[in-house]
């Protein structure tokens, strides 16, 4: 088989494998145009790859507690923005 054929097969394999990665970071389920402010109590701050999560309890207008989770970037990206593993503790 020719070298060009092997290059073509390798390129197709790389492109095929990368398609699920592109789909992974879709934001279609989120309203990215809305900005909200929430005040609550931290229940958990997970500092893991591929994303960190901040979980917190918020009381709504009727006094009912709702648990929220905010997904952030990976720890390396968060560190470059000034955040740390110790930025939040349960009860904050």
State pTM to two decimals.
0.66
Question: What is the rounded distance in angstroms from the CA atom of residue 90 to the CA atom of residue 48?
Answer: 17
DSSP 8-state code for residue 58: E
What pLDDT, in 10s, does the model give residues 39-90? 999 999 999 998 999 999 999 999 999 999 999 999 999 999 999 999 999 9
**Whether 57 contacts 65, CB under 8 Å:** yes
């Amino acid at each position: 088989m020719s070298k060009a054929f092997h290059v073509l097969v390798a390129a197709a394999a790389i492109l095929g494998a990368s398609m699920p990665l592109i789909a992974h970071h879709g934001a279609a389920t989120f309203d990215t145009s809305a900005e909200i402010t929430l005040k609550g109590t931290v229940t958990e701050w997970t500092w893991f790859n591929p994303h960190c999560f901040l979980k917190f309890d918020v009381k709504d207008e009727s006094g009912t507690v709702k648990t929220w989770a905010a997904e952030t970037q990976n720890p390396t990206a968060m560190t470059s923005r000034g955040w740390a593993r110790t930025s939040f503790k349960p009860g904050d």
